[in-house]
A and B are shown apart, each in its own frame.
Chain A
Amino acid sequence: KQEVTQIPAALSVPEGENLVLNCSFTDSAIYNLQWFRQDPGKGLTSLLLIQSSQREQTSGRLNASLDKSSGRSTLYIAASQPGDSATYLCAVTPNTGNQFYFGTGTSLTVIP
């Protein structure tokens, strides 16, 4: 069974700092990987989707990379802002089946 782990579990940084969130998965046979943001008590907002054939995706201040063979993905946030404070989740879809396997999440706090 696919297991997805995110490190660190919590992160607190001053405003303006660049930061990296990590996601690792045990089975490299994935179809795609998606990063989400979740605000407290809310649903998930899709940030970036990386197909298994891709190495990275960028959207504004966000850059996500994928190294499928080593079972790792990173989410890079440039010039962090207090509005970036949220929990960030990564999820992988296996080659077989449609289920997303979610990571444990990283709770980010950006201090003004």
Chain B
Amino acid sequence: SAVISQKPSRDICQRGTSLTIQCQVDSQVTMMFWYRQQPGQSLTLIATANQGSEATYESGFVIDKFPISRPNLTFSTLTVSNLSPEDSSIYLCSVEEAAGTEAFFGQGTRLTVV
């Protein structure tokens, strides 16, 4: 199974700033995803991180607010831009070694915007 290191584990940020979250996998994986979990809610997919090309965003999420990079098959970053209190959530990185196989998750990043 893939081992995922997600950093930072938590952060408190000022309104209007940005936070970049890193996701490092110990093996090459085909699929990488970013999810948001708002307080008391289940997970919502933000985007699929595509290696070497622009991420594929889900409805309601845009690149200007959530820019994503994926320079290779083991690493991705998610930036949450122009932070507001409504962005306070847990952000999770997920990987699948191949499409439709078992999904593995990072430990999450708990973001609080003040």
Contact = CB atoms under 8 A, between A and B. Distances in A.
User: Do chains A and B stick together as partners?
Assistant: yes
Given A43-B6, A98-B31, A103 B110 contact: no
A103 B42 contact: yes
Interface string B91-114: 010101001111111111010000
Nearest to B10: A41
A43 B106 contact: yes
Contacts of B101: 49
- Contact count band on B: 20 to 34
Contacts, number: 55
Nearest to A44: B105
B76 interface: no
SS class, residues of chain A in contact with chain B: strand
B90 interface: yes
Interface residues of A, number: 21
Interface string B76-89: 00000000000000
A34 B45 contact: no
Contact of A43 (B42, B45, B102, B108): B108
Interface string B21-55: 00000000001010000000011110010000000
**Lowest 6 A-B CB distances belong to which pairs?**
A44-B105, A43-B107, A43-B108, A43-B105, A102-B42, A102-B43
